[in-house]
Chain A
Amino acid sequence: MQHHLILKIVTKSIVGIILLFGLYVQFHGDYSPGGGFQAGVIFAAAFILYGIVMGLDKVQEVLPFWVVQKLAALGVLVYALTGVFSLFMGFNYLDYSAFSPHHPEHGQHWGILVVELGVGITVTGVIVCIYYCFASRTPHLDDGEW
């Protein structure tokens, strides 16, 4: 993929927009369609697009393999520890009212935000990770070989 100038330029300009849209879907999920899973997939798709066009090495400079592995675990931990936090505050496991006991609705808002963030981090990590695993096994191919 040395000579695909148009693809490269378009990718460079579009990756930022995809990431921004991913963030919007993630943090606006309470108000509009979307949520952690969708946002994670969109985020991962941005990195995969970058990886396809620029090459695996370039994308792994931005997001190394070990970071992706840690991210996948971190998301689950964020989710589960939210539940543990509400246990310590004297509520049921994953009862988000614990975040602000006097305004249960605000607590629910915060809880949903944090939990969705956990889902998003895990999904991004896992999907980029699967892509890395597959792509790093593929030998380098010239365009003609397809």
Chain B
Amino acid sequence: MVALLALRMSHLFAVVMLAGVFSLLSALLLVLMDAVDVAFTEAAVGAGVSTVLMLSTMALTSRVQKPIKKSNLGAALAVSFAGLLLLYGTLDMPNFGSNNSPAQTHLSNLYLTNSPNEIGVPNVVTAILASYRGFDTLGETAVVFTAGVGVILLLSGLRRRKQKSDSKVG
């Protein structure tokens, strides 16, 4: 509903705000599904930080979307076809919380039975992320770091060039 509203609007400030609301709602959905860790992240990154980043990007460009002149029937068809395919794919998935789904039958039992003895940390998610899959998490941290370095290189490099050209003009 919120997403549809966001699609219909042409004023970008409202669209950004609705995207934030959408993230907050999906964070609530994640809380309902007992994934509190993910809900934290969704609320802080999706609803908080990325809204701010979208707003500051919008401050650099225009506030209002260009009106669409021609209709995109082909694009609409392609999108709904892909959507139907994805829905068809979900038919094969096990029910939510079903105890003979592949996710429940292989590793998670092992983690749940062994981690109190091997790790001794009550929060199994932390035990898996930081200890059993420590290499993964190291890689993820490196990815986050690389993303930050990329943004610094892209944005602050441009700024320096701009300052140079400004000082030339001045």
Contact = CB atoms under 8 A, between A and B. Distances in A.
A135 B58 CA distance: 11
Contacts of A34: 36-37, 40
A55 interface: no
Given A34-B37, A134-B57, A138-B59, A72 B125 contact: no
B145 A131 contact: no
A112 B129 CA distance: 9
Given A48-B49, A69-B152, A127-B49, A109 B138 contact: no
B119 A105 contact: yes
A126 B123 CA distance: 26
- Where chain B touches its partner, the secondary structure class is helix
Q: What range describes how many residues of B lie at the interface?
A: 35 or more
A41 interface: yes
Given A38-B41, A45-B48, A135 B141 contact: no
A73 interface: yes
A98 interface: no
B130 interface: yes
Interface string B104-140: 0000000000000011111101110111001101101
Contacts, number: 150
Interface residues of A, number: 56
A14 to B, nearest CB: 13
Interface of B: 13, 36-37, 40-41, 44-45, 48-49, 52-53, 56-57, 59-60, 63, 118-123, 125-127, 129-131, 134-135, 137-138, 140-142, 144-145, 147-149, 151-152, 154-156, 158-159
Interface of A: 25, 29-38, 41-42, 44-45, 48, 52, 69, 72-73, 75-76, 79-80, 83, 93-94, 96, 104-106, 108-109, 111-112, 115-116, 118-119, 122-123, 125-127, 129-131, 133-139, 141, 146
